[in-house]
Structure 1
Amino acid sequence: MLQAKAYFDTHHHVGVIDQRIFSGFLEHLGRAVYEGVYDPESPLSDEQGFRRDVLEALRAMRMPLVRYPGGNFVSCYDWTDGIGPREQRPVRVDYAWKSRETNQFGTDEFMAWCQETGIAPMMAVNLGTGTPKEASALLEYCNLPGGTYWADRRIQNGHEQPYDVRLWCLGNEMDGDWQAGHVPAEVYAQRAKAAAIIMKGLDASIETVACGSSGRGMSTYLHWDRTVLEYCWENIDYISAHRYSENRRGDSAWFLAEGVEIDRVVEDYAALLNYVRGVKRSQKRVYLSFDEWNVWYKNMEMDGKGESAPHLLEEVYNLEDALVCAQYLSSFIRHADVVKVACLAQIVNVIAPLLTKRDGLLVQSIYYPIVSFAQHARGLSLVPALECPTYKAGERGDVAALDAAMSYDEASGTVAAFLVNREQRQEMRVVLSLGDQRFCEVLSVEVLGGGDAKAANTWEEPKRVTPRSAEAHVNEAGELIVTVPAPGLAVVRARVSKR
Structure 2
Amino acid sequence: MHKNALKIRVYEHIDVVDPKIFGHFIEHLGRCIYPGIWVGKDSNIPNENGLRRDVIQAFKSIKAPIIRWPGGCFADAYHWEDGVGPVELRPRRANIWWGGEESNEFGTDEFIKLCRVVGAEPYICVNVGSGSPSEALAWLEYCNYVGNTKYARLRAENGHPEPYNVIYWGVGNENWGCGGSFDPVYYAWEYRRFATFLKQADPRIKLIVCGHISRDWNYRVMEALRDFIHLVDYLSIHYYFFRNQQRYGDDVKFTDEQYLNLLFDVQHLEYQIKQAIAVVDFFSEGRKDIGIAVDEWGVWHPQATNENGLYQQNTLRDAILAASVLNLFIKYSRKVKIANLAQAVNVLQSICLTRGEKTILTPTYHVFKMYSPHMGNVAVKVDVESPVIKEPTETDYP
Structure 1 length as normaliser, TM-score?
0.73
CA distance in 2, matches of 1:2, 1:397: 28
Indicate yes or no: 2:222 matched with 1:226. Answer: yes
From 333, 345, 364, the equivalent of 2:362 is 364
Match of 1:261 in 2: 268
Q: What percentage of residue pairs aligned between the two structures are identical?
A: 33
SS of alignment partner, residue 383 of structure 1: strand
Shift in alpha-carbon separation, 1:192–1:290, aligned structure 2, 3 A: same
CA distance in 2, matches of 1:27, 1:228: 30
* Offset from partner CA, 1:416-464 (integer Å, 9 cap, x none): xxxxxxxxxxxxxxxxxxxxxxxxxxxxxxxxxxxxxxxxxxxxxxxxx
Q: Which amino acid aligns with 2:317?
A: E
Offset, 1:226: 3.4
| Off by >6 Å, runs of 4+ in structure 1 | 393-398
Offset, 1:78: 0.7
SS of alignment partner, residue 390 of structure 1: coil
Offset, 1:46: 2.2
Q: Which amino acid aligns with 1:7?
A: K
Structure showing the higher strand proportion among its residues: 1
Match of 2:46 in 1: 45
Shift in alpha-carbon separation, 1:223–1:272, aligned structure 2, 3 A: closer
Contact 2:72 2:173 in 1 (8 A): yes
Offset, 1:95: 1.3
Indicate yes or no: 2:301 matched with 1:297. Answer: yes
Q: Which structure is higher in RCO with an 8 Å CA cutoff and minimum separation 6?
A: 2
Contact 2:124 2:170 in 1 (8 A): yes
Match of 2:205 in 1: 206
Offset, 1:220: 4.7
Match of 1:82 in 2: 83
SS of alignment partner, residue 3 of structure 2: strand
CA distance in 2, matches of 1:368, 1:314: 19
Q: Which amino acid aligns with 2:261?
A: W
In structure 2, the gaps of 5 or more residues are: 250-257
Structure showing the higher helix proportion among its residues: 2
- 1:287-326 paired onto structure 2 within 5 Å: 287-303=291-307, 311-326=308-323
From 234, 239, 258, the equivalent of 1:238 is 234
Q: Which amino acid aligns with 2:306?
A: M
Offset, 1:386: 2.3
Contact 1:254 1:394 in 2 (8 A): no
Contact 2:171 2:207 in 1 (8 A): yes
* Offset from partner CA, 1:287-325 (integer Å, 9 cap, x none): 10110011112333225xxxxxxx401111112111111
| Higher mean C-alpha displacement, 223-232 vs 59-68 | 223-232
CA distance in 2, matches of 1:320, 1:350: 17
CA distance in 2, matches of 1:395, 1:42: 54
Match of 1:446 in 2: none
CA distance in 2, matches of 1:135, 1:397: 43
Match of 2:252 in 1: none
Q: Which protein has the larger Cα radius of gyration, Structure 1 or Structure 2?
A: 1
Indicate yes or no: 2:378 matched with 1:375. Answer: no
Offset, 1:44: 3.0
Contact 1:27 1:33 in 2 (8 A): yes
CA distance in 2, matches of 1:43, 1:82: 23
* Offset from partner CA, 1:18-72 (integer Å, 9 cap, x none): 1110111111111111101111364333251111111111111211110111110
Contact 1:185 1:227 in 2 (8 A): no
When the two chains are superposed, the root-mean-square deviation of aligned CA atoms in Å is 2.0
Contact 1:15 1:381 in 2 (8 A): yes
CA distance in 2, matches of 1:13, 1:233: 28
Q: Which amino acid aligns with 1:8?
A: I
CA distance in 1, matches of 2:318, 2:224: 33
Match of 1:145 in 2: 146
Contact 1:189 1:232 in 2 (8 A): no
Contact 1:193 1:231 in 2 (8 A): no
Match of 1:126 in 2: 127
Q: Which amino acid aligns with 2:163?
A: P
In structure 1, the gaps of 5 or more residues are: 304-310, 399-499
Q: Which amino acid aligns with 2:237?
A: A
CA distance in 2, matches of 1:33, 1:202: 30
